[in-house]
Amino acid sequence: MVTAKPRLDHSREYLAAFQLIHNNDRSSPAWLRELRNEALDEFTVVGLPTNRRGNEGWKYTDVRPISRAPFLPTIEAVSYTDQRSLLIGDDRQVSACLLNGKFSNNQTDLGALPDGVIVGSLTEAVKSHEDLVRTHIGKYADWEGEPFTAFNTAFFEDGIFIYVPDGVCVPGWVSLQLLSQSSSMESSHPRVLVILGVGAKLNLIEDYRGVGDEERLVNGVVEFALMAQSQLESYRVQRQADGVFHIVTTAVQLDSGASFSSLTMDLGGALARNKLSVKLQGEFAQSHLRGLYVASGGQHTDNQIVVDHASPKTTSRQLFRGILDDRAKAVFHGSVIVQKGADGSDATQEDRNLLLSPSTEVNAKPALWIYADDVKCSHGAASGQLAEESLFYLRSRGLSEREARHMIIEAFLGEVLVGGSNGGLQESFQGLVSNKIKQLPSASFSEGTL
């Protein structure tokens, strides 16, 4: 337990909550209890990153609202009342649900899965596949020096576990419904662990949403372990309620020839922070990362991306687009690391923002760290307003101002939305983005969709 002097505000309340949740836990193995205790030590000693001076990762994101009171884990069971769903357009969908970080059998529909594929409760997986879980959990999302990852690792009670054996392709989609509904100043800690065997394939959707405008924290950790030649296509949609502080840490490790493709869409929440770390561990591994965020009012969106080329002939792509209105703020800090010996690596990185109000703010810092020879790397970031000459040109061709603005934004977002291999999701995603755009203070669009 805690041996150093705590720096965490409200440490007594957090320690009491930890004891309430875990002290009577006799079913968890000793190694898992030790993992939680070590993470609690880290969380309590390091504290939340409220001092942004000298803390590059949090320089432009203020988490003091999360530190002014203890955001204790939700204890009481609740009945979820939000009926929104993500229309996938694929009847081969498998759905698993976490409600406030706890596995919900009532909202899970596993249907028929291929032989050997596991989709279910992380707690149950610890009992039935302990060696497999122990080998991977906490091995990719490092909690040392990462207070929110440590917070999750100490307090998560359950999660979703997915395992796809060697050579198995899961048809359709596995949809994870990650739901939150709690009282003010409470927290939930969803945990997801996905393991793909050699040559396995999986299409995954993570849908984060909640109801109620109470201030609360959703603090998730997702770990993906991709064995050689496996393929994971991942889509994440965040449409939290206005009072939610949404922080998710994702860590991906790819062995030789593995492929990871992702799209992250941030549309809700008061604060949305995504930390995505990808390690291209094996030769010829590749990652394609896309992100889209639309923010207004006082919303704050923060993307922290690290891609580590640890082996030769690895490839990475980053493409992010943001639309900001009113007083919204966005942060993009993207790093590409090419390790010594990772010759022949190829990396591109791009973040662009469209600003609809003079009061918006963007802080972008793309970075390349190259320690190898014979590499191909590029990066760039840009922000700007709607181009008046483009508006004038389109209006001179007979379009109304609404139609012209609509066309420009459609083109701006299009490259991100149409990427990936599955076009069946595009219509659903376009509808979600269109609804968000219509709510922007500066937007005056027609009733058509993007």
- Is residue 143 domain-resident? yes
Please give the pLDDT value at position 77.
64
Residue scoring higher pLDDT (268 or 384)? 268
| Amino acid letter, residue 190 | P
- State the virtual CA torsion across 202, 206, 207, 213 in degrees, nearest 10: 170
Query: In the predicted model, is pLDDT for residue 433 greater than 60?
Result: yes
Percent with pLDDT over 70 in the chain: 92
Q: Which of 120-124, 317-321, 441-445 has the lowest mean pLDDT?
A: 441-445
Query: In the predicted model, is pLDDT for residue 448 greater than 50?
Result: no
353 burial via Cβ count (<10 Å: 0-12, 13-18, 19+): buried
241 burial via Cβ count (<10 Å: 0-12, 13-18, 19+): buried
**Average pLDDT of span 122-132:** 97
Query: In the predicted model, is pLDDT for residue 285 greater than 80?
Result: yes
Query: In the predicted model, is pLDDT for residue 7 greater than 80?
Result: no
**Average pLDDT of span 30-54:** 91
Where does the pLDDT of residue 93 fall: very low under 50, low under 70, confident under 90, or very high at 90 and above?
Answer: confident
Residues 6+ apart with CB under 8 A from 179: 80, 82, 97, 98, 99, 100, 104, 107, 209, 210
Where does the pLDDT of residue 420 fall: very low under 50, low under 70, confident under 90, or very high at 90 and above?
Answer: low
Is there a contact between 96 and 107 (Cβ–Cβ < 8 Å)? no
Query: In the predicted model, is pLDDT for residue 383 greater than 80?
Result: yes
Query: In the predicted model, is pLDDT for residue 422 greater than 70?
Result: no
Token pair for residue 324?
Answer: 């900001």
Query: In the predicted model, is pLDDT for residue 304 greater than 90?
Result: yes
Please give the pLDDT value at position 402.
73
Which residues on neighbouring strands pair with residue 350, listed in sequence order?
319, 380
Please give the pLDDT value at position 419.
64
| Amino acid letter, residue 153 | T
- pLDDT, mean over the chain: 90
Residue 259: name the closest of 302, 196, 344, 308 by CA. 196
Element (H, E) at 184: none
- Is residue 260 domain-resident? yes
Where does the pLDDT of residue 447 fall: very low under 50, low under 70, confident under 90, or very high at 90 and above?
Answer: very low
Please give the pLDDT value at position 179.
92
Q: Domain range holding 104?
A: 11-282
Helices (H), 182-249: none
Q: What distances in angstroms separate CA 216 from CA 40, 66, 74, 244, one per listed residue?
A: 20, 9, 10, 5
Query: In the predicted model, is pLDDT for residue 191 greater than 60?
Result: yes
Query: In the predicted model, is pLDDT for residue 446 greater than 60?
Result: no
Which residues on neighbouring strands pair with residue 380, listed in sequence order?
350
Residues 6+ apart with CB under 8 A from 342: 309, 310, 311, 312, 314, 371, 372, 375
Per-residue pLDDT tens for 196-241?
Answer: 999 999 999 999 998 888 899 999 999 999 999 999 999 999 999 9
- Is residue 172 domain-resident? yes
- Is residue 355 domain-resident? no
Q: Is the pTM of this model over 0.85?
A: yes
- Is residue 345 domain-resident? no
- Is residue 233 domain-resident? yes
Is there a contact between 345 and 372 (Cβ–Cβ < 8 Å)? yes
Indicate the DSSP class of residue 326: T
Place of tokens 């109801």: 211
- Is residue 154 domain-resident? yes
Residue scoring higher pLDDT (243 or 404)? 243
Query: In the predicted model, is pLDDT for residue 425 greater than 90?
Result: no
Is there a contact between 309 and 282 (Cβ–Cβ < 8 Å)? no
Q: SS3 breakdown of the chain: % helix, strand, coil, rounded to 5?
A: 25, 35, 40
Residue scoring higher pLDDT (197 or 7)? 197
Please give the pLDDT value at position 31.
97
Domain count, the chain: 1
Token pair for residue 180?
Answer: 């939150």
- Is residue 366 domain-resident? no
Q: Which of 28-32, 118-122, 200-204, 389-393 has the lowest mean pLDDT?
A: 389-393
CA geometry: angle at 275 spanning 271 and 76, to 5°?
A: 60
Residue scoring higher pLDDT (146 or 403)? 146
Please give the pLDDT value at position 387.
74
Place of tokens 């000793």: 30
Percent with pLDDT over 90 in the chain: 68
From CA 29, how far away is CA 154, in angstroms rounded?
Answer: 15
**Average pLDDT of span 27-40:** 95
Question: What are the E-state strand segments in 12-130?
Answer: 72-73, 94-99, 102-103, 118-121
Please give the pLDDT value at position 81.
59
Indicate the DSSP class of residue 440: S
Please give the pLDDT value at position 380.
87
Please give the pLDDT value at position 321.
96
